[in-house]
Amino acid sequence: MSIDERRNDFVTAINSLSGFEDYAEDFIDYWTEPNKSNTKMRFELEKTWSLKSRLSRWKKNHITNFGKNNSAAEDSWLEDLRKLG
């Protein structure tokens, strides 16, 4: 499978999840960055990978690091995490 096909699969997986629309584009751009030889993406180079864990951490960091740290945002983040299962 080509790197473009694998990237499309990754994007499809992210876009199928609800509650992460505001964070998906940056998350996808970061984790699908190719290596120098353009054979693997950043997420493929990780020793371990859990989409649920990475996305929830990404969203939590975004909420706390960009001034959105309020109880409504935190409640929304927890609800979205529960939806992931």
CA distance 85 to 65: 25
CA distance 17 to 51: 11
CA distance 5 to 10: 9
- Residue partners of 63: CB distance under 8 A and separation at least 6: 69, 73, 74, 77
Q: What is the pLDDT of residues 7-39, one digit of tens each?
A: 999 999 998 887 778 888 889 999 999 999 999
Q: What is the pLDDT of residues 34-68, one digit of tens each?
A: 999 999 999 999 999 999 889 888 888 877 776 55
Q: Could you tell me the residue ranges of all domains in the chain?
A: 3-84
Per-residue pLDDT, 28: 94
pLDDT of residue 70 exceeding 80: no
